Amino acid sequence: MAIIISILTLLVIYLGMVIFFMNHFYFGSSINGINVSGESVKEVNKQMIYELNTYKLNIKERGGKNEQIKANEIGLKYNSDGEFKELKDRQNSYKWISAFFNIEDSKNKDTKMIIEVKYDKTLLKKRVDKLSCFNISNIIEPKNPSFKYTDNGYVILNEVSGNKVNKGILYDKLSGAILKDKTTIELDSINCYVKPLYTSNSKKIIDTRNRLNKYVFSKITYIFGEHKELLDKSTINKWFKVDKNIKVTFDEKEVKSYIDLLSTKYNTIGKSKKFITSIGEKIDINGGDYGRSINRVKETEALISSIKNGETVAKEPAYIQTALAKGDNDMGNTYVEINLSTQHLWFYKNGALIVQGNIVTGNVSLNDATPDGVYKLKYKEKDAILKGPGYASPVTFWMPFNGGIGIHDASWRNLFGGKIYKSNGSHGCINSPYYLAKAIFNNIEVSTPIVCYS
């Protein structure tokens, strides 16, 4: 009798549950991960609509900042209607016991359902555009590492990560998160931020730092006779630029400016020269084309090359023109001295007087006066014919130093010196007695300075 009562009791319970599950979901039922066990379709409809309408996607940004996208902002809705009842209809109320024993089965199609949602793409794009992380005033651009010069060389300054978001990536990630019913995304973990191209540990950054240090520890000593100019890191470090592609370039304008300063300081062509005459007077002579002149273009190139090679070197610069002597007195002790006022010439070689004598210079009355200045002998020629307007004069020794002006013998003259030059002078040349011209010609070298003064 007890067994019959027990069986009847179980049957009543079973049938009662069958009746219950005719209108309610199995135990263990879930929709989109939401537990709907034992609820009616009507209750589930309300619950799911509530869950949909209250959906928020939390966006975690750098700096502890959070923003949200809400369901109503993007027109979020379920992909189709009536699917809740379809799930209920798949649940045979007479099989509720089997469903009970399979509660943990996540693949049970009778108890587990995923209903897709959809959203308005235009609304989502507009909402993304309004996120504060895209407000230009809030954006910190990512930056590659940079380089700072110190007394010990260049050091690397770390990159700036910034907070600039890649909108295209973010939109795709948001879309996927919404469709999968995620409630939180963290922009760092899903790689939404625009990254610097390089970090402080990148090989290119380290190589560039090493290259800069190679350059900056170059040491160039320029020698100008007894003077020296040291070019070292204190100046060189100002000549580099590292562009956004981490390419090192020289600021050639700065290098040229440095060479220009050397030229201004040490070029001697045309500069006033201090000179002690043969009669002991101390004078300053201006003008002429004798002296040193740095080849600015060539030396700029050479200097950049030396720095790129990390050289430590003592050198003279490249010259367009050099002088016989390297010091301040670049004429040295070999030169021709011409006193235009006394009409006298001296020729010194290695400090020894080779010859001297009277001369006749340019005709002052015809504005052909020989100009002051220090010039260099351009060449020397024997048995030349000097030509000009209305004359052709053969000479044995011809030594030009200033255009068509030069030293030569003048066989047509019997007298030299005195005041002849004022009214019966030359066309500008230095008319010399034969012996004087010959002695100079036989001992002088090209580029020897010719000093003319009044």
Count other C-beta atoms under 10 Å from residue 416's C-beta.
19
Please list the helix, strand and coil fractions of the chain in percent, rounded to the nearest 5, in that order.
Answer: 30, 30, 40
DSSP-derived 3-state class of residue 303: helix
**Residues 6 or more apart whose Cβ sits within 8 Å of residue 179:** 116, 117
Residue among 24, 133, 192, 429 flagged as catalytic: 429
Whether residue 192 lies in the annotated active site: no
Check 24, 133, 408, 452 and give the catalytic one: 408
Half-sphere exposure of 78 (CA within 13 A, CB side): 15
Alpha helices in 138-181 (DSSP H): 167-179
Q: State yes or no: is 429 an active-site residue.
A: yes
Beta partners for residue 67, in sequence order: 59
**Parallel/antiparallel/unpaired status of strands 449-453 and 373-376:** antiparallel
Which residues 6+ apart lie within 8 Å of 120 measured at CB? 74, 75
Q: What is the DSSP string of 242-298?
A: E-TT--EEE-HHHHHHHHHHHHHHH--TTS-EEEE-TTS-EEEE---S-S-EE-HHH
d(CA 317, CA 319): 6
How many helices (H) and strands (E) the chain has is answered by: 12, 28
Residues 6+ apart with CB under 8 A from 57: 68, 69, 174, 177, 178, 182, 183, 184, 185
Per DSSP, 22 falls in state: T
Going by C-alpha positions, the residue among 448, 454, 432, 446 that lies closest to residue 335 is 448
- Which residues are part of the catalytic machinery? 408, 429
